[in-house]
Amino acid sequence: MPAEAGVPLARWSCPELAAELTARGITETVSASTVRRWLREDALKPWQYRSWIFIRYPDFRSVPQ
């Protein structure tokens, strides 16, 4: 998991991810272009996200601005 390294997934480059996969023994060897292809084909794209603010205060609309 990227959190184990203390770095968000969106901060990793493809060469860094390839080196990390090899260093952790997940794969014997992998190129940065292969990692780039895997990420492009995958449905999860951590660098393309939208955040939403969920209002937790139940009477938010009644509060004077």
Q: 13-29: per-residue pLDDT in tens?
A: 889 889 989 998 999 99
pLDDT at 11: 76
Residue 13 makes CB contacts below 8 A (sequence gap 6+) with 32
DSSP 8-state class, residue 59: T
Q: pTM above the 0.85 mark?
A: no
Distance of alpha carbon 22 from its chain centroid, rounded? 19
Low-confidence ranges of the chain (pLDDT < 70): 1-2, 9-10, 44-57, 60-65
* Token couple for 46: 């951590």
**Whole-number percent of the chain with pLDDT over 70:** 63
